[in-house]
A and B are shown apart, each in its own frame.
Chain A
Amino acid sequence: MKDKFVRYFIPLLLFSAFVSISWAQEQALPELSLTKVSDIEVPQGFTEGLKEGSLVSTNSSLWLVAGCLFPLPGVIASAAYSPRFNPEELQRIAEVKGQSYALGYAKAYETNARNNNYQAAWNGFGIALAIVSILNSLSGLAGSASMASPDGMASSPVPLMKELRYDTR
């Protein structure tokens, strides 16, 4: 029994360990191709531009209104539209801080602006949905209250108007 164990099980164990290590390396190593190493260029490198461009606040109030007024088209348009950084401003930044800084700055700004627009449109969508559901609930409540009262039908404005119309005749 011991001989069989040594003869079959241990080689099998070693082989499976080798296969699993190779498999893990195969899994991990392709991820190295997704990376790039660069020297730090302070204070005017691409990364510095990214860092500062991502801190700029963008105005997305129009997209909130668009999401409120036209919920679905507003969200679709915000997902499709890519805002562009002002070229004149970009040129000015490039002259002062260098081309790579300006590229990083514009990239971060544009991503930030697009994400904020998208989020604002969804917020508008949510507000529109909330308003519709509140109005729906209120009309439902009003309807059930008038049905619940014993003279609900008599006190409703429609018969009253009919009576008024009858009286004026």
Chain B
Amino acid sequence: MTRVSLCLAVAAILLLLSACSQVPVASNMVPNAFSMYKRELPRSISIGKVSGNNPAFKDDKYKITDPTFKQALGDALSKSRLFQKVVYDDLSSNYILEAELVYNDKKRGFGGYPMELFVRYSLFDQINGGLKWSKDIYSYSEEGSLKGRSEQAGRANILRLIQELSQLEL
């Protein structure tokens, strides 16, 4: 093996490692503290369908995927203690929260463009039936690596969601 080939192999391994480290992690999208109007609602909420960025068709590693966001939503709602019980895909719970990752991108290259995240949330009332609440929440981040920006945008988005949910008459 020549020296050039060896250098290329090392570069390929480094690229692979850097690509792996760019994937956003659910635990980094869970807020540390919450701003809420209520806590401990005597209700249960289920995290239902999360769509928009299927990892099977994912083109960019730094984008938040559906399973990662679903996990982060569940963890954050549990940690906030807004609802008594937080579960996943349970049709017997009082409410079902669905999310659609409409847009998660950043202009790459020169220029300090922010990482932007648009999520469409829908809260369904399982007991009385129907849509209880639905909003688009936009968040952005301008600091850190692509991964860090995605995570901060996701964390801010979830923080705002929990604040909005705590204002509802549930």
Contacts and interface: CB of A to CB of B under 8 A. Distances in A.
A140 B153 CA distance: 50
A119 B19 CA distance: 14
Interface string A121-139: 0000000011001001100
- Chain B contact-residue range equals 35 or more
A54 to B, nearest CB: 6
A87 B137 CA distance: 28
A34 interface: yes
A47 B33 CA distance: 28
Contacts of A27: 32-33
Contact of B152 (A34, A129, A130, A133): A34
Interface majority SS on B: helix, strand, loop or mixed? mixed
A47 B102 contact: yes
Interface residues of A, number: 38
Interface of A: 21, 24-25, 27-29, 31-32, 34-40, 45, 47, 50-51, 54, 78-80, 82, 108, 110-112, 114-115, 118-119, 129-130, 133, 136-137, 140
30 contacts: A25-B32, A27-B32, A28-B34, A28-B35, A28-B159, A31-B139, A32-B163, A34-B141, A34-B152, A34-B156, A35-B138, A35-B139, A35-B156, A37-B135, A38-B138, A47-B103, A51-B102, A80-B110, A108-B105, A111-B107, A115-B105, A115-B107, A118-B108, A119-B108, A129-B8, A133-B4, A133-B5, A136-B2, A136-B4, A137-B4
